[in-house]
Structure 1
Amino acid sequence: MTAILALLIPFFGLILIGFIAARVSRQGVEALGWMNVFVVYCALPALFFKLVSQTPVEELTRLDFIAAQLAAVYLVFVVIFAIARLGNRQSVGEATMQAFGGAYGNIGYMGPSLTLLVLGQTAAVPVALIVCFENALHFIVAPALMSLSGGERRSAMALTLDIFRRVALHPFIVSTVMGFIVAASGTAIPVPLARLVDYLAQAAAPCALFAMGVTLALRPARNFSADLFFIAGTKLLVLPLVVCLILGVIGGMNEVWVHAAIVLAALPTATNVFVISQHYGIWEQQASSLVLVTTLLSILTLPVILYLISAGFI
Structure 2
Amino acid sequence: MSGILTGFSTIGAIIVLGVALGHFGVLDVQAQRLLSRLAFYVANPALMVTVLGETDISTVLSAGLPASLGGVAIAAGLQIAASRYVWKSSAAETTIGAFCAAYANAGNLGLPIAGYVLGDASLVAPMLLTQLLLLQPVGLTVLDLSTGDRPRTWRTVVTTPFTNPLLIGSLVGVLLALTDVRLPAPVRDPLELIGGMAIPAMLLAYGLSLRFGPLPGKGGRLARTGLTVFLKLAVQPLVTFLLARYALGLDEATVLAVTVIAALPTAQNVFVHASRYGVDVVPARDCVFLSTVLSVPALFAVATLLA
Q: TM class by shorter-chain length?
A: 0.7 to 0.9
Give the corresponding residue for 2:113. 118
Give the corresponding residue for 2:118. none
Counterpart among 205, 211, 224 of residue 211 in structure 1: 205
- The alpha-carbon distance between structure 1 residues 3 and 178, as it changes in their structure 2 partners (threshold 3 A), is closer
Counterpart residue type for residue 304 of structure 1: P
Deviations 1:184-214 (A, max 9, x none): 2222321233322332333332222112212
Number of paired residues? 294
1:146-161 aligned within 5 A = 155-157=151-153, 160-161=154-155
In 2, the alpha carbon distance for the partners of 1:173 and 1:107 equals 16
Give the corresponding residue for 1:188. 182
For the 8 Å contact 2:103–2:266, the answer to whether it is kept is yes
Query: What's the secondary structure of 2:181's corresponding residue?
Result: coil
In 2, the alpha carbon distance for the partners of 1:188 and 1:102 equals 35
Deviations 1:194-244 (A, max 9, x none): 322332333332222112212333334422543432333223332333334
- The alpha-carbon distance between structure 1 residues 152 and 181, as it changes in their structure 2 partners (threshold 3 A), is closer
Deviations 1:55-91 (A, max 9, x none): 334335x3987666454334233323434555x4x32
Counterpart residue type for residue 72 of structure 2: V
For the 8 Å contact 1:113–1:205, the answer to whether it is kept is yes
Give the corresponding residue for 1:51. 51
For the 8 Å contact 2:97–2:228, the answer to whether it is kept is yes
- The alpha-carbon distance between structure 1 residues 23 and 75, as it changes in their structure 2 partners (threshold 3 A), is same
CA RMSD, Structure 1 to Structure 2 (Å): 3.8
In 2, the alpha carbon distance for the partners of 1:202 and 1:276 equals 20
Cα distance, 1:135 vs structure 2:
0.8
Query: What's the secondary structure of 1:104's corresponding residue?
Result: helix
Give the corresponding residue for 1:197. 191
Cα distance, 1:278 vs structure 2:
3.9
Identity of aligned residues (%): 17
In 1, the alpha carbon distance for the partners of 2:38 and 2:276 equals 20
Q: TM-score, normalised by structure 1?
A: 0.74
For the 8 Å contact 1:104–1:273, the answer to whether it is kept is no
Cα distance, 1:251 vs structure 2:
5.6
Counterpart residue type for residue 298 of structure 1: S
For structure 1, the 5+ residue unaligned runs are none
Q: TM-score, normalised by structure 2?
A: 0.75
- The alpha-carbon distance between structure 1 residues 161 and 241, as it changes in their structure 2 partners (threshold 3 A), is farther
- The alpha-carbon distance between structure 1 residues 243 and 100, as it changes in their structure 2 partners (threshold 3 A), is farther
In 2, the alpha carbon distance for the partners of 1:152 and 1:195 equals 34
- The alpha-carbon distance between structure 1 residues 205 and 129, as it changes in their structure 2 partners (threshold 3 A), is same
1:262-277 aligned within 5 A = 262-264=262-264, 266-267=265-266, 270-271=270-271, 274-275=274-275
For structure 2, the 5+ residue unaligned runs are 116-120
